Amino acid sequence: MRSKLPNTQVSIFSQMSALAHKHGALNLSQGFPNFKSDPLLLDLVTKAMKDGYNQYAPMPGDLGLREVICNKIHTLYNNKFDPISEVTITAGATQAIFATITALIHPGDEVLIFTPAYDCYQPTIELQGAKAVAIQLAAPAYKVDWQEVAKAITDKTKMVIVNTPHNPCGSVFSKEDMLQLERLAVEHDLMVLSDEVYEHLIFNEAEHQSAARFEALANRSIIVASFGKTFHNTGWKMGYCVARKEIMTEIRKVHQFNVFSVNYPIQKALAEYLIDPTTYLGLGAFFQTKRDLFLEGLNGTTFKVLPSKGTYFQLVDISELTDMSDVEYAIYLTEHHKLASIPTSVFNRGQEDHRMLRFCFAKTTETIEQAIAILRQVGT
């Protein structure tokens, strides 16, 4: 058998979570919360099941949920999307990304990605017989140089994938970044896949710069979101994508034969839960407290940090502490000190090691304090 993805390994998240489990380590590697989601949301799911929403949902998703999503985007980002033709509910952001790339990218096309890049983009691009062209960002700020982006665009470039707030860097795009992206996308007739799964996890009351805020950009973008990330239920695998009708029509052609439709009772529950904006508007402050607890704990250690501006991840620079590679040190820390993290060179396609580990601080205070105790022991 000839592999379609000869260079693709088991994901680093599966690897590190398995290693954490094997060694009974505290798991700050894979990005998921270890606290419960709102009991109201759980009750709404139970109610939807008891009310009989247990058969196939409509292919693009529950209309009530799509309406509430469009209202939310209109209120927050001042742009109108049509719930009938411009939103699709998906099995997490991952499936939205898969359906988008599969529907829109042809063999021989080029897609620009920024490394460190979330791990599902490249294999999905390669499955289409297309090429992921990586633009490497520099530690520790991981800012985009838009002139470099302009130089990387060829007549084969069809799409740019951006991610703000950024996993794993915790960096965010400014309004100026988005305007530069818009200018390039319009000039070169590019589509933009805007991965905004951490839209509500942004700190210091910064405004999330959604592609939806910029009209010309929104008209050529596919915006991807994840309810798992927003509402502490990553295991539900619930997300959605939003795009103009002509783009969404193509995405749905893939979606309907990839999964057809996704979990109905959860969609019903979310449609009701999302009506109250306080369910998501307080999340930035909630996670910032956790980030600050983690950062304060690292004060006075040899770990260097640049505070995360969004997501629930913090990068930690290990270069003053060890000569090991980030992969070696992540394994060492898990096996010998019972603390698991993610080595970020994997997001650089293994080509650059910035000696950064990613820690997920979506954890209870107790877990964060235990992690700090371990890091203080090894790093002071």
Q: Which residues bind ligand GLN (CB under 6 A)?
A: 11, 13, 30-31, 167
The entry of ligand PMP, ligand GLN, none that residue 146 binds, CB within 5 to 8 Å by partner kind? none
Nearer to ligand PMP, 161 or 372 (CB): 161
What is the nearest approach in angstroms of ligand PMP to the Cβ of residue 376? 28
Q: Which residue is nearest to ligand PMP (CB)?
A: 92
The smaller minimum CB distance to ligand PMP, of residues 61 and 92, is found at 92
CA 341 – CA 12 distance, rounded (Å): 10
The entry of ligand PMP, ligand GLN, none that residue 228 binds, CB within 5 to 8 Å by partner kind: ligand PMP
Q: How far is the CB of 121 from ligand PMP (least distance, A)?
A: 9
CA atoms of 305 and 308, how far apart (whole Å) = 9
In the complex with ligand PMP, the residue whose CB is nearer, 98 or 378, is 98
Strand partners, 191: 159
Nearer to ligand PMP, 79 or 163 (CB): 163
Half-sphere exposure of 53 (CA within 13 A, CB side): 21
Minimum distance between the CB of residue 240 and ligand GLN, rounded to whole angstroms? Answer: 16
158, 105 Cβ separation under 8 angstroms:
yes
Q: Which residue is nearest to ligand GLN (CB)?
A: 31
Residue 154, token pair as written in the block: 């060829």
Nearest approach, Cβ of 156 to ligand GLN (angstroms)? 29
Least distance from C-beta 244 to ligand GLN, angstroms?
A: 27
Q: State which residue, 41 or 378, has the beta carbon closest to ligand PMP.
A: 41
Kindly state the smallest distance separating residue 261's Cβ from ligand GLN, in Å. 21
Burial 324-350 (b: 16+ CB within 10 A, else e): bebbebbbebbeeebbbbbbbbbbbbe
Q: What sign does the CA torsion over 156, 176, 123, 93 have?
A: negative
Q: Which one of ligand GLN, ligand PMP, none is in contact with 13 (Cβ closer than 5 to 8 A by kind)? A: ligand GLN
Closer to ligand PMP at the Cβ: 185 or 193? 193
E strand segments, the chain = 26-27, 87-90, 110-115, 131-136, 157-163, 191-195, 221-226, 239-243, 313-317, 339-340, 342-343, 356-360
The Cα diameter of the chain in Å comes to 59
Residues in the chain: 380
CB atoms within 10 A of CB 161: 25
4, 53, 325, 342 from 366: Cα distances, Å? 44, 38, 29, 20
Q: Smallest distance, Å, CB 93 to ligand PMP?
A: 3
In the bound state with ligand PMP, the residue whose beta carbon lies nearer, of 164 and 180, is 164
User: Contact residues for ligand PMP (CB under 6 A)?
Assistant: 31, 92-94, 118, 163, 167, 195, 197, 226, 228-229, 234, 237, 239
